[in-house]
Amino acid sequence: MNFPPGKYHKPVMETRCFMCLVIKSTSGIAEKLQYDKYYEFINNFFSDIAKPISDSNGGVYKFTNEELIVSWKVTENRIPIDCLNCFFDIKDVINNKLERYKEKFGVYPEFTAGYHMGKVIAGKIGFDKKEIVFSGDALKHTRSILNECKKYNTEILISEDLINLTNIPREFNISEIGSIMLRGLNRALKIFTLDKNPN
């Protein structure tokens, strides 16, 4: 992630929104494509979605060969709608390139995402190459919400806490889908799915 120089010389407490996005069925894709072609597939995906993330003012926190974590800073106790638009813009980009993926790889990326927000401690850790690290339950809880996508057979799940701090435009349809108990919370957290009406 890009941060102002020196800002995280000492750990600071921040409120952040996180999107945890995971590509589905990566084991099967890797087996089908084999080593070199699989990593070309993954690199194509991350390259294709770089612009929607940048346009949303999000920062890539971490990624593996199947998972991507994007972060947005929450200011004035409001969450920008751009963070939710990011997921749907990624969908649009990939949908527009489905034929290319099919022709080149014989498969295309399908993915799910979980959204949550909360306070984290941000600070630099490392020696030769320092990295910004976020510590706190918010990131763990985002992953837990992501994992519920399979249970509810949905592409995207968003926490009640995030919904409450976001001005949702009419173009979005929100549906409460269930609740989840998260370690460190003394309550069940409602989770919602979301879809966006076509323009």
Averaged pLDDT score across all residues of the chain:
89
CB 18 within 8 A of CB 139: yes
Q: Select the more confidently predicted residue: 77 or 154.
A: 154
- Would you say residue 3 has pLDDT above 70? no
- CB-based contacts of 124: which residues, under 8 Å, 6+ apart? 8, 9, 130, 131, 132, 133
**Tens digits of residue pLDDT in 95-137:** 999 999 999 999 999 999 999 999 998 877 766 666 778 888 9
In single-letter form, the type of residue at position 143 comes to R
Of residues 116, 95, 60, the one with CA closest to residue 196: 95
In single-letter form, the type of residue at position 91 comes to K
- Give the pLDDT band (50/70/90) at residue 5: very low
Percent of the chain with pLDDT over 90: 65
Angstrom distance (rounded) from CA 18 to CA 120: 11
Query: 82-95 and 35-48 helices cross at what angle (nearest 10)?
Result: 130
Q: By CB neighbour count within 10 A (0-12 exposed, 13-18 middle, 19+ buried), where does 114 fall?
A: buried
Name all domains of the chain by residue range, CATH numbers in brackets. Answer: 12-196 (3.30.70.1230)
Overall pTM surpassing 0.85 (yes/no): yes
- Give the pLDDT band (50/70/90) at residue 194: very high
Q: Select the more confidently predicted residue: 38 or 78.
A: 38
Q: Torsion angle, CA of 58/62/68/73, rounded to 10 degrees? A: -30
**Tens digits of residue pLDDT in 12-26:** 888 999 999 999 999
Angstrom distance (rounded) from CA 141 to CA 147: 10
Q: Select the more confidently predicted residue: 51 or 171.
A: 51
Q: Select the more confidently predicted residue: 186 or 100.
A: 100
| Mean per-residue pLDDT, 43-51 | 95
- Provide the phi-psi class of 59: left if phi over 0, else alpha when psi is between -120 and 50, else beta: beta
